[in-house]
Copies of this chain bind each other. A is one copy, B any other.
Amino acid sequence: MALEHAILVSLLEKPGSGYELARRFERSIGYFWTATHQQIYRVLKRMEGDGWIDVREVPQQGRPDKKEYSVAALGRTVLSRWLHEPIEPESVRHDLAVKIRGAAFDDPVALIGEVERHQRAHADRLTHYLAGQLRDFTGPDAPTAQDAGQELQHAVLRGGIAYERMMLAWLDDVLATLHGLRPEH
């Protein structure tokens, strides 16, 4: 499990509330890890109880008060230990691949629309990533000298971009295969 670790990394990059973390998990951190706000609040409470993170009540005007979390010394230790222990390459789960193989026993042509839908979703994500890259790393407003943190964030983002490009190309391949199928007789 790496949700705690993802939260630790995100809080090290910038302290914030559960709500803010949930928003980050829809954006940058969410490129490679997802979590709902319910899950985040629960884990934050446990992490606080275990002394991994500190809380600070922040009164706000015009908005509900929030709890700002930051990484405690113990949290840094936990993260460091995790970084130094090997993890297994994660197992993949592609619903769409199951569908594609299943299509052989149904109507393959009916799957074309679904594949195109997925392709649009991946194209949207790619556009989103590329905009982020331009804004934060390669654009005119990006910081000229980048520290290790930014270099590594950029490397992860390049991974997301490579993934989406790969998916788009593969889904093209799948569509060509679906179109090329001739009904048996």
Q: Are A158 and B181 interface neighbours, CB within 8 A? A: no
- From A8, A99, A102, A181, name the one whose CB has the most chain B CB atoms within 10 angstroms: A102
The distance in angstroms between the C-alpha atoms of A31 and B100, with both chains bound, is 13
A132 within 8 A of B: no
The distance in angstroms between the C-alpha atoms of A100 and B79, with both chains bound, is 12
Which of chain B's residues have a CB closer than 8 A to the CB of A49? none
* Total interface residues in chain A, CB < 8 Å: 69
Q: A79-B105, A163-B92, A166-B162 are in contact. Are A100 and B174 (CB under 8 A)?
A: no
Q: Are B94 and A93 interface neighbours, CB within 8 A? A: no
The number of times this chain is found in the oligomer is: 2
Taking the closest CB of chain B, its distance from the CB of A31, in whole angstroms, is 7
Taking the closest CB of chain B, its distance from the CB of A94, in whole angstroms, is 4
Which of B34, B106, B114, B180 meets A80, CB within 8 Å? B106
- From A6, A8, A110, A165, name the one whose CB has the most chain B CB atoms within 10 angstroms: A6
Which of B92, B103, B156, B166 meets A101, CB within 8 Å? B156
Mark interface residues in A89-114 (1 if CB within 8 Å of B CB, else 0). Answer: 11111111111111111101011001
A-B contact pairs, 21 of them (CB 8 A): A5-B98, A9-B98, A9-B101, A12-B105, A33-B93, A83-B103, A87-B95, A90-B96, A92-B163, A94-B159, A97-B159, A103-B152, A104-B147, A108-B148, A148-B184, A151-B180, A155-B174, A162-B166, A162-B170, A162-B173, A163-B170
